[in-house]
Structure 1
Amino acid sequence: MEDARGKGKTKCAPSAAAVARSTMLLLAVVVFVVWLVIWAVFPTRTYSSTWAPKLAALTGFGKQGMRMMLFVSPVLFVYVVACVYLHLHKDSDHDTESRTRGALGTRMAAWRRPVLVRGPLGIVTRVELAFLLVLLALLVWFYTAYVTAEFAKIRIKLPGEKLWQAQLEKAARRLGTAGSLCVALLLVPVARGSSLLPLVGLTSEASVKYHVWLGHLAMVIFTAHGLCYISFWASTDQIDEMLKWARTRMSNVAGELTLLCGLAMWATALPRVRRRMFELFFYAHHLYVLFVLFCALHVGVTAFCFVLPGVFVFAVDRCLRFLQSRARVRLVSARLLQSQAVELNFAKSPCLRYSPTSTLFVNVPSVSRLQWHPFTVTSSSSLQPDTLSVVVTSRGAWTRKLYEAVSSLPPSGGHLSVSVEGPYSAAAASTRFLGYDSLVMVSGGSGITPFISVIRELGYLRGAAETVPAPRLLLVCVFKTSAELDMLDLLVPVSGGLPAISGLDLRIEAFVTREGEPSAGDRARKQPGREVWFKPWPSDVPVALVLGSSGWLWLGAVVSSSFAVFLVLVAALQRFYIYPVDGDTNHVYPWAARTMLNLLFLGVSVAGVTGAAFLWNKQGSAADEDMKVKSSDGTTPGMSPVALLHWAGGVDREMESLPAAQPLVQATNVHFGHRPDLKRMFLGIDGENVGVMASGPQGMLEDVATICSSGPASNLHFQSISFTW
């Protein structure tokens, strides 16, 4: 047993489920390391002289079958193991998990501390820097070993060709091979529903950083690859090679189109362009479809096996997202705030469980049919089993149009068509928060929204089980104007929940930086936000799990089954269609046709298996669950006592009408005209294990990370939540 802060604990025997999870996690790590070792050995003579002949004979399908086994199967195996791990993990005991994660967090604290803060890479922890250095070392080794082997057996093929020109051609070719390692991992971080992200504790928005790093590396290498080939062709009077599409070998035109698509995505993704012209970036990034297509046509099916794992994982995820987004979800109500923010409350299936700080992607066809925007979920699936909430602040054209559309509806009724994708979250985020002695949450403006879900979830866990140790909470929120203080109203959900929140050891320090303290008249004139209730349509459905309550198991089954179908189709193509043609010495099967057939089989296998699994679960959910949404009749959402304390006249009357709110009101302080002294506040917090979460502008995140990485702050464990990608 242990006390409220995790002291004086005795060792408990791990459960069978915990042992199974640990075994699967170890197995996944071992297979992934083996996959990296295969990449490291691939350019050596050991592979080409010893491994390759034996493996080609073992598979029976030549180089393509061999590379499927070495480069594709290990990644998909890890993916399926991760699905089973997460399925078992979701039912784990919160108290045991919090103790385990707390102990592990203490040992791993040094690795999670920021080591680089203000630089081109953003905020980088030691474990992230180690990952980047390992990747760079692997790339350098891979390329160096390949070039060394190629130079040792180089031969002059063209009349008048010089040695340096032959070396340039070999160096250019192997740059393309090295770039395939980056592309092999490029799409994995942006597969939002992937099991690989929560396996390592990543959310969909946090993993975008790794996609950006890999994208920069890939485009630098591929650009050098293209320029080296152009230089080689120009120096050997073969510039016409740029216009050739070979029938039975690499197509130069396809490679050039691949590079052009990549450069367009790369240029529009630069921070200056992306932030000023987000729609250009958004639509240009859909060129990834042509990038993958032309890349496959350029390198052929055998070399395409290098990048197939990431493409396969992303294709399954994209197909599931498409199927989920076709439904129109039931919007129950909206809460309009004076700061031009709106809280959207959706009906959700009770079996849908998600972690705090989860992300939901929202599309409103009446505002824009094509645009999807991510928002942090502010509700708790434990405290609010039937509703899911997000907050949209007016920061751009899309959000302003949405606010206007909702505010124009009458309070008593109306309808707004909405589609969603997600929610996406890391595994067991709530148990990670429970592992801290104290939890400090620093927000800037709308950055408070992730912490609303954290506070609600911890309030529920603290009230549901007295043995669960809840950390001391400090919420430091910085706003530009006093109108934004109504964001604190969102601490209390529409459906209630104040008793659970008021039971927490919570202190709120709110700072208004651009205004002085308002007069009594201004407080009296402050009006609370209003609510809008929506009328249900028969076709509306609650937000639900795309693959049902056993979604992780179904996802593992979908990936393994679709890959098996793909292998069967490719094997049949090879055995009964391509080999008879290639067996004739006068004919060689066209490179492009073979590649297109493989891509067609990939699409058919993924779409067919994923669609069948989706329809099966949809029918089962309709038969087993009551899919009727709640009636819109009910109590009016209540205002937070925080706003009532600082803005309403007659504080005594409000306190009497809300006696449960007194602890929360007394814990709140509002400061006007200055910013918080974060360093003084952080260093004054007691506890060996203090979590610090920051959400807001990049400058604020860097300030918090700088404090947490300093020597005196050895007990502070930093985590950033940012949507500035």
Structure 2
Amino acid sequence: MEMIKQVSKFFMMVVFLGTIMLWIMMPTLTYRNKWLPYMRLKFGASTYFGSSGTTLFMYMLPMIVVACLGCVYLHFKKRKSPHQNDRETNEVVVWNALRKPMLVKGPLGIVSVTEIMFLAMFVALLLWSFITYLRNNFATITPRSAAAHGESLWQAKLESAALRIGLIGNICLAFLFLPVARGSSLLPAVGLTSESSIKYHIWLGHMVLAIFTVHGLCYIIYWVSMHESSQMLMWDTKHISNLAGEISLFAGLLMWATTFPVIRRRFFEVFFYTHYLYIVFMLFFLLHVGISFSFIAFPGFYIFMVDRFLRFLQSRDNIRVLSARILPSHTIELTFSKNPSLVYSPTSILFVNIPSISKLQWHPFTITSSSKLEPEKLSVVIKSEGKWSTKLYQSLSSSDQIDHLAVSVEGPYGPASTDFLRHEALVMVSGGSGITPFISVIRDMIATRQNQKCKIPKITLICAFKNSSEISMLDLLLPLSGLQTELPSDIDIKIEAFITREKEPRSEATSEKIKTLWFKSSLSDQPISSILGPNSWLCLGGILSSSFLIFLIIIGIITRYYIYPIDHNTNKIYSLTSKTIIYILVICVSIMATSSAAMFWNKKKKYGNVDNKQVQNVDVPSPTSSPTSGGNNSFREIESSPQESLVQCTNLHYGERPNLTKLLFDVEGSSVGVLVCGPKKMRQKVAEICSSGLAKNLHFESISFSW
């Protein structure tokens, strides 16, 4: 098993680096005069794939291979045993140094040494490509050659620069969709999650649209100066379609305008719905440049399409909701039924859709439960802040007789594994609802201590709340079920809770209540399960490889017996637009057929499993879960203060903010992992303390739930 994992990892890196080498060599004369003619001879002269065969096999195929190898690697990857730490001290030291925050404040947010290195290399690739393109092409532009085309020298150079700017944009576009392919193997294979990678998508999105905007403006200036403004409305079916490019750019600019924080945070619905224009953006981009050239930047979008359709299939299921804990801090904990075979890591997220609130909106929420501690349940916490969450809170809190709640989900998504056990101590700093990812970490630690009987880190939870009603969030540290009602005595945990806007405790008489609603289930409700089953990574690799193979077979047949007899690989007779549409349709059919087949096969296997039949019976709360016997419509109320086992380890501080420097420096241990989730200033402060070098034992653990 270990050998297969290492071999797949090695070949994954080799193929990926080979693809990067092609990107580096693409603007050079060596590539244009030697490599490209050879590749066209090998791949572009085929009667089965035509001219598109060159980019299909040189750029598209390698990335599909990398994604499939990543699936194999993740399938055989095993969680490191906590007893391995001594043997890996040097590796851990190097890794911690690379993950250390380098930039804390600025437009890029909190950025580590590794991220700065890769960002610098990526920018260097863009500059190298652009400068090399211009140097090689400007050398061929002379006053005589420009006059031969009816241009002045500056106009010829402007057109050449405009084209090369577009080529640079393709490099950014090739990576744009990889960070948002939530179920892709590429992110977890390098230790990333889709949530923490959103910032890379934001960076790339700004680059793509800035570059393509300059690309479009340069051409507009060129056409106006040449008195050829009619070119802006031209749709050439044999070559580049200018109108398609303008439609694509316009859709991109609409998306771009709503992504800035001022608009995104105040008008989230506008941002959310406008972002669906990515379909228009990509469709008309393909029609603009043609399918042959598109394969250079298309692999990332292909992987995203597979992931997006699998998410669509999963979202068709109605999920069984067991209960809702309604906290006085305008917070709800929803608990779902879960298939015991579904395992996820702490800090994972779940995307939730509630049709009664909005049929189209999906919102991500941190999972607070642990699959080890509660194998048949999954919980998320929803804070009433935006319009969607406020409507949900009002709907549940204003009624005690809600029989059923229709919910669809996508996920869960999270790290392939976590390695918190390597630390001697663990500090978690949160602000408000930022405590939610740490609830899952603490529950997972409890389960690890119970099941594996191994030593776990000392835990310090530093949480800041605005008022005392939010202290009830600490009740979520323990699950609702009666399986675990208090903290184990051998777990060393300390909670420092700060109430910043109140200077003294509220009287017990005014203490608010926590209400729990229990829901009935319908026959169509199902537990949350992995769309591809327990061997999901191998199944995903099978979908990627089989869909691509089916695509090659169908396209080969169509090209050989339909397109080639008409065009004979000249690209001058058969419509480029029609060819692009055929390719798009075949890609969509291949992905939908293989993904649907994998899902139905998994469902057939799942419903024949005894474990799933057992899950079907957890729709009614057990006596240990609900102290009442009034059925699913019953509810209970408990005091909004931490349970007795939590009170003993909780220190409450009123009217003050946490002194993070003192609190972090006071934590003892040779290796202290520091996690933070909360307001921007809090995250920056913690990152600044960890990167200052004043405390060598502090190691910043990068997690991201705010973008």
Same topology, TM > 0.5: yes
CA deviation digits over 1:653-677, x for unaligned, max 9? x86xxxxx2xx43221010000010
Q: Identify the residue that residue 44 of structure 1 maps to in structure 2.
A: 28
The secondary structure found in structure 2 opposite 1:389 is strand
Q: Which moved more, 1:176-185 or 1:236-245?
A: 236-245
Superposed displacement of residue 303, structure 1: 1.0
Q: Identify the residue that residue 267 of structure 1 maps to in structure 2.
A: 257
The secondary structure found in structure 2 opposite 1:529 is strand
Q: Identify the residue that residue 3 of structure 1 maps to in structure 2.
A: none
CA distance in structure 2 between the partners assigned to 1:585 and 1:421 by the alignment? 46
Q: Structure 1-normalised TM-score?
A: 0.91
Q: Identify the residue that residue 458 of structure 1 maps to in structure 2.
A: 445
Superposed displacement of residue 299, structure 1: 0.5
Structure 2 counterpart of 1:325, from 298, 315, 321: 315
Q: Identify the residue that residue 404 of structure 2 maps to in structure 1.
A: 415
Letter of the structure 2 residue corresponding to residue 719 of structure 1: E
Superposed displacement of residue 525, structure 1: 3.4
Shift in CA distance, 403/598, structure 1 to aligned 2, threshold 3 Å: same
Q: Which moved more, 1:475-484 or 1:142-151?
A: 142-151
Q: Identify the residue that residue 54 of structure 2 maps to in structure 1.
A: 66
Q: Identify the residue that residue 77 of structure 1 maps to in structure 2.
A: 65
Shift in CA distance, 523/647, structure 1 to aligned 2, threshold 3 Å: farther
Shift in CA distance, 34/551, structure 1 to aligned 2, threshold 3 Å: same
CA distance in structure 2 between the partners assigned to 1:584 and 1:277 by the alignment? 50
CA deviation digits over 1:349-373, x for unaligned, max 9? 0000000000000000001111110
Q: Report if the CA contact (8 A) 2:368-2:379 is conserved.
A: yes
Q: Identify the residue that residue 344 of structure 2 maps to in structure 1.
A: 354
After superposition, where does 1:693-704 map in structure 2 within 5 Å?
A: 693-704=675-686
Structure 2 counterpart of 1:678, from 630, 651, 660: 660
Q: Which moved more, 1:324-333 or 1:567-576?
A: 567-576
Letter of the structure 2 residue corresponding to residue 547 of structure 1: L
The secondary structure found in structure 1 opposite 2:530 is coil
CA distance in structure 2 between the partners assigned to 1:118 and 1:310 by the alignment? 30
After superposition, where does 1:575-590 map in structure 2 within 5 Å?
A: 575-583=560-568, 588-590=573-575
Q: Identify the residue that residue 369 of structure 1 maps to in structure 2.
A: 359
CA distance in structure 2 between the partners assigned to 1:101 and 1:270 by the alignment? 42
Superposed displacement of residue 101, structure 1: 6.9
Superposed displacement of residue 206, structure 1: 0.7
Superposed displacement of residue 609, structure 1: 0.7
Q: Report if the CA contact (8 A) 2:325-2:333 is conserved.
A: yes
Q: Which moved more, 1:372-381 or 1:47-56?
A: 47-56
CA distance in structure 2 between the partners assigned to 1:680 and 1:585 by the alignment? 72
Shift in CA distance, 171/647, structure 1 to aligned 2, threshold 3 Å: closer
Letter of the structure 2 residue corresponding to residue 29 of structure 1: M
Letter of the structure 1 residue corresponding to residue 455 of structure 2: P
CA distance in structure 2 between the partners assigned to 1:569 and 1:368 by the alignment? 39
Superposed displacement of residue 552, structure 1: 0.7
CA distance in structure 1 between the partners assigned to 2:163 and 2:572 by the alignment? 27
Superposed displacement of residue 98, structure 1: 5.8
After superposition, where does 1:575-614 map in structure 2 within 5 Å?
A: 575-583=560-568, 588-614=573-599
Structure 1 gap segments, 5+ residues each:
1-16, 649-653, 656-660
The secondary structure found in structure 2 opposite 1:106 is helix
Q: Report if the CA contact (8 A) 1:143-1:175 is conserved.
A: yes
CA distance in structure 1 between the partners assigned to 2:470 and 2:621 by the alignment? 29
CA distance in structure 2 between the partners assigned to 1:82 and 1:102 by the alignment? 26
CA distance in structure 2 between the partners assigned to 1:500 and 1:104 by the alignment? 34
In the alignment of these two chains, the number of paired residues is: 687
After superposition, where does 1:714-725 map in structure 2 within 5 Å?
A: 714-725=696-707
CA distance in structure 2 between the partners assigned to 1:97 and 1:58 by the alignment? 49
CA distance in structure 1 between the partners assigned to 2:571 and 2:318 by the alignment? 57
Q: Identify the residue that residue 93 of structure 2 maps to in structure 1.
A: 106
Superposed displacement of residue 259, structure 1: 0.8
Q: Identify the residue that residue 510 of structure 1 maps to in structure 2.
A: 497
After superposition, where does 1:80-229 map in structure 2 within 5 Å?
A: 80-89=68-77, 91-92=78-79, 94-95=81-82, 104-154=91-141, 155-156=145-146, 160-229=150-219
CA distance in structure 2 between the partners assigned to 1:310 and 1:323 by the alignment? 20
CA deviation digits over 1:494-533, x for unaligned, max 9? 11424565532111000000001225xx124324312111
The secondary structure found in structure 2 opposite 1:508 is strand
Structure 1 counterpart of 2:431, from 444, 457, 461: 444
After superposition, where does 1:556-635 map in structure 2 within 5 Å?
A: 556-583=541-568, 588-625=573-610, 626-627=612-613, 628-635=616-623
CA distance in structure 2 between the partners assigned to 1:117 and 1:260 by the alignment? 34
CA distance in structure 2 between the partners assigned to 1:399 and 1:301 by the alignment? 42
The secondary structure found in structure 2 opposite 1:206 is coil
CA distance in structure 2 between the partners assigned to 1:585 and 1:378 by the alignment? 59
Shift in CA distance, 472/340, structure 1 to aligned 2, threshold 3 Å: same
Q: Report if the CA contact (8 A) 1:194-1:317 is conserved.
A: yes
Superposed displacement of residue 563, structure 1: 0.7
CA distance in structure 1 between the partners assigned to 2:3 and 2:544 by the alignment? 25
Shift in CA distance, 595/204, structure 1 to aligned 2, threshold 3 Å: same
Q: Report if the CA contact (8 A) 2:513-2:639 is conserved.
A: no
The secondary structure found in structure 2 opposite 1:374 is strand
CA deviation digits over 1:368-427, x for unaligned, max 9? 11111000000000000000000111111111111122224436x610000000000111
Identity rate of aligned residues, in percent? 46
Letter of the structure 2 residue corresponding to residue 276 of structure 1: R
Shift in CA distance, 244/308, structure 1 to aligned 2, threshold 3 Å: same
CA distance in structure 1 between the partners assigned to 2:512 and 2:292 by the alignment? 66
Asked if 1:340 is matched to 2:330, the reply is: yes
Superposed displacement of residue 162, structure 1: 1.2
Q: Which moved more, 1:577-586 or 1:18-27?
A: 577-586
Q: Identify the residue that residue 11 of structure 1 maps to in structure 2.
A: none
CA deviation digits over 1:272-301, x for unaligned, max 9? 111111111101100000000000000001
Superposed displacement of residue 635, structure 1: 3.4
CA distance in structure 2 between the partners assigned to 1:108 and 1:180 by the alignment? 32
Q: Report if the CA contact (8 A) 1:433-1:439 is conserved.
A: yes
CA distance in structure 2 between the partners assigned to 1:65 and 1:623 by the alignment? 44
Q: Report if the CA contact (8 A) 2:511-2:639 is conserved.
A: no
Letter of the structure 1 residue corresponding to residue 478 of structure 2: V
CA deviation digits over 1:559-585, x for unaligned, max 9? 010011111122222211111111398
Q: Report if the CA contact (8 A) 2:238-2:572 is conserved.
A: no
Shift in CA distance, 503/298, structure 1 to aligned 2, threshold 3 Å: same
The secondary structure found in structure 2 opposite 1:503 is coil
CA distance in structure 2 between the partners assigned to 1:202 and 1:585 by the alignment? 44
Superposed displacement of residue 334, structure 1: 1.0
Q: Identify the residue that residue 521 of structure 2 maps to in structure 1.
A: 536
Shift in CA distance, 218/584, structure 1 to aligned 2, threshold 3 Å: closer
Shift in CA distance, 584/574, structure 1 to aligned 2, threshold 3 Å: closer
Letter of the structure 1 residue corresponding to residue 677 of structure 2: S
Letter of the structure 1 residue corresponding to residue 575 of structure 2: P
Q: Report if the CA contact (8 A) 1:102-1:435 is conserved.
A: no
Asked if 1:289 is matched to 2:274, the reply is: no
Q: Identify the residue that residue 6 of structure 1 maps to in structure 2.
A: none
After superposition, where does 1:371-390 map in structure 2 within 5 Å?
A: 371-390=361-380
CA distance in structure 2 between the partners assigned to 1:335 and 1:63 by the alignment? 60
Superposed displacement of residue 171, structure 1: 0.6
The secondary structure found in structure 2 opposite 1:362 is strand
Superposed displacement of residue 479, structure 1: 0.2
The secondary structure found in structure 1 opposite 2:248 is helix
CA distance in structure 1 between the partners assigned to 2:297 and 2:571 by the alignment? 32
Q: Which moved more, 1:274-283 or 1:158-167?
A: 158-167
Q: Report if the CA contact (8 A) 1:376-1:450 is conserved.
A: yes
Q: Report if the CA contact (8 A) 1:541-1:629 is conserved.
A: no
Q: Which moved more, 1:444-453 or 1:664-673?
A: 664-673
CA distance in structure 2 between the partners assigned to 1:474 and 1:595 by the alignment? 57
Q: Report if the CA contact (8 A) 1:456-1:491 is conserved.
A: yes
CA deviation digits over 1:204-236, x for unaligned, max 9? 211100000000111111111011111111122
Letter of the structure 2 residue corresponding to residue 333 of structure 1: S
Structure 2 gap segments, 5+ residues each:
628-636
